[in-house]
Amino acid sequence: MRTQQTSTDAEMASTGFLDNDVHNGDHSSSSIQAVMINRPRSELYGFWREFRNLPLFMANVRSVSGDGRVWIIAGPGGFEVQLETEIIEDRPGEKIAWRSTESADIDHEGWVEFRDNAFGRGTEVRVMISYDPPAGAVGKLVAKVMQREPRIQARRELRRFKQLMETGEVSTSQAPVAAPRG
């Protein structure tokens, strides 16, 4: 007898164009994560592009200011990291790409893409993050142990983004975070 495996959209792998061995990043640590969200692509892009919304679903992002230029991130050990970025590509409804400026605490780059699902159900959201961890391999290990490594964070944050966009809130053991109305 054969058993059928099922998965939720949050667990669903990419629809064929995600290759975990190819990350497109130029730094020592890179990751691509993807999730299917049952919302229109333009709505997801618009919410993400309003960078002040990012702390609503990114647990370690304290604030984003200056049209996405300055991010304050909670780092391992309770210290905060300031990331200064510049947008290097912005295709409305499709993709936002960024990289660190010379004055950033951490050298990094990344992008988020929004693609219509091939089967006409929702949008695939993909995020790539590539960075050089402070203190090299030791810093990467500390971040991983403390659950602050970008690969782990990106997976969690995409799940939170999915929850927020599909239900209007993020389910956590802390006080609920609701999407702004209006």
Residue 67 maps to a domain: yes
Number of domain units in the chain? 1
Q: Check which CATH number belongs to the domain holding 48 and give it.
A: 3.30.530.20
Residue 141 maps to a domain: yes
pTM: 0.72
* Dihedral of the alpha carbons of 113, 114, 119, 120, in degrees to the nearest 10: -170
Q: Please identify which residue in the block is written with the tokens 């299917």.
A: 36
Residue 46 maps to a domain: yes
Q: Tens digits of per-residue pLDDT, 100-124?
A: 888 777 788 899 999 999 888 899 9
Residue 179 maps to a domain: no
* H helix or E strand, kind and range, residue 137: helix 136-145
Per-residue pLDDT band at 160 (split at 50, 70, 90): very high
Q: Enumerate the β-bridge partners of residue 87.
A: 98
Range of the domain at 38: 22-169
Q: Tens digits of per-residue pLDDT, 16-64?
A: 333 333 335 454 456 788 999 999 999 999 999 999 999 999 888 899 9
